[in-house]
Amino acid sequence: DDRARRRRDDEDIWRPVRERLDARGVSVPFEEKTFAGELDAITFRHAWKNGQWHAYEGVSLDLASQDSIMEKARRWVGHLTTVRDGLAEPLKLHLIIGAPQEQGLGEAYRKALAMMRKAPLRPEVVEEHAIDDLVSRIEDEVRAHVQDQGSPAARGG
C-alpha cells in the first residue's frame, strides 16, 4: 500500500481530552498562558490556574521516522530548558503524548517519552491510553476549585 497514512497532529491528540471534558459537562476555564525565560518563551494553549498554573498540551509523536520523533522530543526539552529560569509562578505541565501508528518506531517513542519525563519543569507525560484518568483528575480539580470559590472563606467571609 503506497498511500501515505494520515499522521495525527498535536490538535488531534488534544481533541479527545476536550471532547471527554465536554461529555462530562466539565467547563475548564482554559486560556492561553505564556511563560518566558531569559532567552525564550513558550505559550500553552490550554492552561488554567487553580492555586498554580496547570498547562495541558497535546504532543503528537505520530511521525514518519525515528529521527523526527527524537527531534520533536529534543525540541520540547529545549523549550522547557530555555524558559525554566523565568518562571515567576508555579507550573504543573501535562504533556498528552500521541504514539506513532507506524510499526517499528516503538524504541524511538519510548526514548522520546523518557526524555520528556526528565525535561526541566518535570512535566507529567500522559500517554493516550491514560486520557480517561487525566480527564477524571481534571474534573476533580475543577469541581474542587469551583466549590472552593463558593465557600465563605473564598468569598472573604
**pLDDT of 4:** 62
Residues 6+ apart with CB under 8 A from 42: 34, 35, 36, 79, 80, 83
Q: What pLDDT sits at residue 127?
A: 97
Which three-class secondary structure state does DSSP give residue 24?
A: coil
What digits encode the pLDDT tens for the residues 135-154?
999 999 998 887 777 645 44
**Cβ proximity of 10 and 60 under 8 Å:** yes
> Each residue of 4-47: pLDDT tens digit?
678 999 999 999 999 999 999 999 999 999 999 888 999 999 99
